[in-house]
Structure 1
Amino acid sequence: MDLDIYNETYDTICTSDIKQNAKILEVGCRSGKYYQLFIEKRPDFKILGIDSAPNMIEIAKRNNPSAEFLQFDARNIYQLNDKFDLIVSGFVYHTSRKKKE
């Protein structure tokens, strides 16, 4: 799978006019790879990564011990008691649809 478009998107976010210490929510954080890309370029970002898969959260925490990750279903995003300057997401739509029985 070609991930160049995702890498370019994250690069654009990091070089844009987003304020210092911006709070970012990454929906579908998976292994925390993009958290690493953010922090390399913008260590001032305050990022919360969420994913519904417990194994992905475990991997993300292992890969980024100082980061904040939460096992959370994005369909309940309204339950997060926080405000964010930016919400980013990738590879989520195809996992959020329930199969028809």
Structure 2
Amino acid sequence: MDNHYKQFYGSARMKYDDLYESEKRIFGLLNLQNRSILDVGCALGGFYNVFKSLDSSAKYTGIDFSESLILEAKNRYPEANFIKMDATQLEFENNSFDIVVCNSVQAHIPNYRSLISEVYRVAKYSCVLDTRLTFQNTQNIGDEDLSYYVLNMGEMFEIIEKLENLQTFVLHSNKITPNKNKLHSKDYVDVGVFSGLFLFEKQAK
């Protein structure tokens, strides 16, 4: 799987033009000037380039569970800070980073509740979270190689209600089609899946 990520992220997701329109909209709401940014699930670290192009004063840290990806990220961007770490057990204090960004991670984490809680916990001002949502029951529509957890809308909003010090949030959503070659049931093919990109703004203590 690491080789797949290296191939994809080696040629994509490393400049502003690679961003989805929803990301451009959400990132445009962030104050990046002299802000510390944590990129959770950084892969090869391409978002270091993205944030530096948006504001050169931004201070970037990337984490990923894969040691192989972290080593490659360090080789590509030696001036940045990269750490191997489990996103469901972040080794940072509360409010450690001004902004926390977590893209393309939630859908592949069985313990997604801990992931959401952790990325929000370590954010001081803003947390950007990419999710996969459905009006049906929460389910894993992946396979033995790669999980793909799609959250019921009601469950996601139940999680949001429990976030402490949340002041406002913005949601940018659009319907997407999972990789049907990886699905093993017609029921899964018919699942309505939405990409939900959240921006949580919190009151720092």
TM-score bucket of the superposed structures, by smaller chain = 0.7 to 0.9
**How many Å apart are 1:17 and its aligned residue?**
4.8
Give 1:41's aligned amino acid: L
Go from structure 1 to structure 2 and tell me whether the alpha carbon gap of 1:30 and 1:11 turns closer, same or farther (over 3 Å shift): farther
TM-score normalised to structure 1 length: 0.78
Go from structure 1 to structure 2 and tell me whether the alpha carbon gap of 1:88 and 1:59 turns closer, same or farther (over 3 Å shift): same
What is the root-mean-square deviation of aligned Cα atoms in Å? 2.7
Give 2:92's aligned amino acid: L
TM-score normalised to structure 2 length: 0.41
1:64 to 77, 80, 83: 77
Q: Which has the higher contact order (CA 8 A, sep 6+)?
A: 1
Q: More helix by proportion, 1 or 2? A: 1
**How many Å apart are 1:16 and its aligned residue?**
3.5
Cα deviation, 1:5-38, whole Å, max 9, x if unaligned, reads 844415742x435152101111000001111111
Q: Compare CA radii of gyration and give the structure with the larger one.
A: 2
Unaligned residue ranges in structure 2 (runs of 5+): 1-7, 112-139, 141-205
**How many Å apart are 1:93 and its aligned residue?**
1.5
Cα distance in 2 for partners of 1:10, 1:28 equals: 19
Cα distance in 1 for partners of 2:30, 2:105 equals: 26
Residue 51 of structure 1 corresponds to which residue in structure 2?
64
Go from structure 1 to structure 2 and tell me whether the alpha carbon gap of 1:19 and 1:28 turns closer, same or farther (over 3 Å shift): closer
Unaligned residue ranges in structure 1 (runs of 5+): none
Q: More strand by proportion, 1 or 2? A: 2
Q: Do the aligned residues in 2 keep the contact of 1:10 with 1:38 (CA within 8 Å)?
A: no
Q: Percent identity?
A: 29
Cα distance in 2 for partners of 1:38, 1:11 equals: 14
Q: Do the aligned residues in 2 keep the contact of 1:10 with 1:37 (CA within 8 Å)?
A: no
Q: Deviating runs (4+, > 3 A) in structure 1?
A: 3-8
* Number of equivalences: 96
Give 1:62's aligned amino acid: N
Residue 92 of structure 2 corresponds to which residue in structure 1?
80
Cα distance in 1 for partners of 2:110, 2:18 equals: 23
Cα distance in 1 for partners of 2:40, 2:48 equals: 11
Secondary structure at the aligned position of 2:89 is classed as helix
1:95 aligns with 2:116: no
